């Protein structure tokens, strides 16, 4: 599937620029005025005389709380993203899940972009199925629920039942989404290139590279055949060693798949970040989380394709206690040198703290220039920066701080921030959030279970030395 070029700008893009500028201006202006009004009311309230008894009057409802004009403008920008549609929602998701790359207020406000999008009508959903599969919905499925289970920026999911009685779901691409998203990406690319030549902060943040990455991710997400294939490849990596029965991936039902339709096994469970519901169902979250991280690391280091969008909506605990990975629109696949670097990092963290090995791996990947320092010097720097973090529970790590240090180190020695590093640390941020609620005392860097198949001899020796029993 050829990718539409980014460096193209025509009448459609020009017309869209007018709309984008108007909506962003409206969002920022409305947010700024709202903040100014709240500030004025707050100051006026402070000047009001108190009651005779000296107590401060309490108004009914919630008093306005000032959060600063930066946060207000960030909120206005995110509101505008929602109105501008899926491409800008994707940009918001990138801001929310890429710590250190954007101002803190903007990343925090953009967390709302991870929520569901409004669904498209059932009539359109049925039309997509009929057009792509060649028959109407009632001939393809014995049941089809017009109310979607979920709706995201690119697609939405409907429950259905196959003719043989198997419960399934169909994921449907939003009608007409391709042209709108490519147009928006071309506008972002042009703007990023202009700013890159004039604003130092934009150049350091690699904004052009971010848009290129977003373009690549979007084109992959729009390719449902690729997504279904990635889903099967990841499932195969999970099953490779025969000891990941506690992790599952929905089975793809190929006879009901098409360019805009993926049909797959329906799983029942609860998102990983909902500890209250998990407790109500009697489900434990810590062991499934450890199992899920183990399978994810094995996929990244030993097999190739790994899940690159592990937010809570894509990780569930099923009713029988398994960890389920869902939605394979965003996948990462590392080059052999990067896989070797990850092996070096994990071995260093778990077994010997030899950061010179990590320095050599960073040189192999081109992150560190060959003429900067010795391996011993850089190893000492890396050990001083990251060594103290490795014994802390993952729930107590500050992923934003860690990523800031990683990016600063990369820029200091090579002048760029590698996209592989961004994708990997993005998942670290997600796992940190889950661990805070489900496994607050879990220390990823000292858990030999997660490296059981990557370093089998060393992990077994480490578990024996610690007196730990490996889970099933």
Helix (H) or strand (E) holding 411, with range, is helix 399-414
Q: Are 245 and 323 in contact (CB under 8 A)?
A: no
As beta bridge partners, residue 173 has 155
Q: How many CA atoms, within 13 angstroms, populate the side-chain half-sphere of residue 31? A: 21
**For 57-83, b where at least 16 C-beta lie within 10 A, e where not — what string?**
eeeeeeeeeeeeeebbbbbbbbbbbbe
Q: Which residues have CB under 8 Å from 179's CB, separation 6+?
A: 12
Phi then psi dihedrals of residue 304, to 5 deg: 125, -90
Rounded to a whole number of angstroms, the distance between the first and last alpha carbons of the chain is 41
Q: Is 145 marked active-site? A: no
Query: Starting from the edge strand earliest in sequence, which strands make up the sheet with 269-271, in order?
Result: 247-248, 323-325, 315-318, 269-271
Of the listed 309, 327, 344, 447, which one is catalytic?
Answer: 309
Size of the chain in residues = 472
> Cβ(256)–Cβ(169) under 8 Å?
no
The residues that bridge with 317 in the sheet, in sequence order, are: 270, 323
The conformational region for residue 373 under phi > 0 = left, psi -120 to 50 = alpha, else beta, is left
Sign of CA dihedral 237, 239, 242, 243: positive
Catalytically annotated residues: 309
């Amino acid at each position: 599937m050829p990718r539409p070029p980014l460096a193209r700008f025509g009448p459609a893009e020009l017309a869209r620029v007018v709309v984008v500028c108007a909506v962003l201006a409206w969002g920022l202006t409305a947010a700024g005025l709202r903040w100014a009004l709240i500030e004025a009311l707050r100051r006026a309230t402070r000047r009001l005389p108190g009651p005779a008894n000296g107590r401060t009057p309490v108004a009914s409802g919630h008093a306005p709380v000032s959060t600063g004009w930066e946060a207000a403008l960030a909120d206005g920008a995110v509101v505008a993203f929602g109105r501008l549609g899926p491409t800008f929602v994707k940009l918001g998701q990138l801001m929310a899940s890429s710590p250190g790359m954007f101002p803190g207020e903007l990343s925090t406000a953009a967390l709302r972009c991870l929520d569901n999008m409004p669904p498209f009508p059932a009539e359109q959903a049925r039309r997509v199925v009929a057009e792509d599969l060649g028959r109407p919905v009632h001939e393809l499925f014995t049941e089809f629920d017009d109310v979607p289970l979920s709706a995201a920026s690119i697609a939405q999911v409907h429950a259905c039942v196959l003719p043989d009685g198997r419960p399934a779901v169909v994921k449907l691409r939003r009608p007409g989404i391709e042209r709108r998203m490519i147009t928006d990406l071309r506008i972002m690319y042009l703007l990023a290139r202009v700013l890159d030549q004039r604003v130092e902060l934009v150049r350091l943040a690699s904004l052009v590279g971010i848009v290129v990455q977003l373009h690549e991710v979007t084109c992959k997400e729009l390719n449902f055949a690729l997504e279904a294939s990635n889903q099967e490849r990841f499932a195969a990596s999970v099953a490779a060693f025969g000891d990941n029965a506690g992790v599952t991936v929905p089975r793809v039902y190929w006879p009901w798949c098409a360019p805009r339709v993926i049909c797959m096994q329906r799983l029942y469970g609860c998102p990983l970040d909902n500890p209250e519901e998990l407790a109500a169902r009697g489900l434990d979250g810590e062991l499934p989380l450890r199992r899920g991280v183990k399978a994810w690391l094995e996929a990244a280091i030993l097999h190739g394709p790994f899940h690159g969008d592990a937010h809570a909506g894509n990780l569930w605990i099923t009713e029988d206690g398994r960890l389920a990975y869902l939605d394979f629109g965003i996948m990462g696949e590392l080059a052999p040198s990067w896989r070797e670097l990850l092996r070096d990092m994990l071995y260093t963290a778990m077994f010997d703290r030899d950061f010179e090995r990590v320095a050599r791996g960073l040189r192999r990947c081109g992150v560190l220039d060959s003429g900067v320092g010795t391996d011993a010097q850089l190893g000492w720097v890396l050990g001083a920066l990251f060594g103290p973090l490795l014994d802390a529970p993952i729930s107590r790590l500050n992923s934003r701080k860690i990523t800031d240090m990683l990016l600063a180190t990369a820029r200091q020695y090579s002048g760029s921030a590698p996209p592989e590093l961004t994708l990997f640390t993005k998942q670290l941020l997600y796992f940190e959030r889950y661990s805070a609620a489900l496994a607050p005392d879990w220390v990823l860097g000292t858990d030999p279970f997660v490296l059981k198949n990557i370093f089998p001899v060393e992990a077994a020796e480490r578990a024996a030395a610690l007196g730990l029993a490996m889970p099933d």
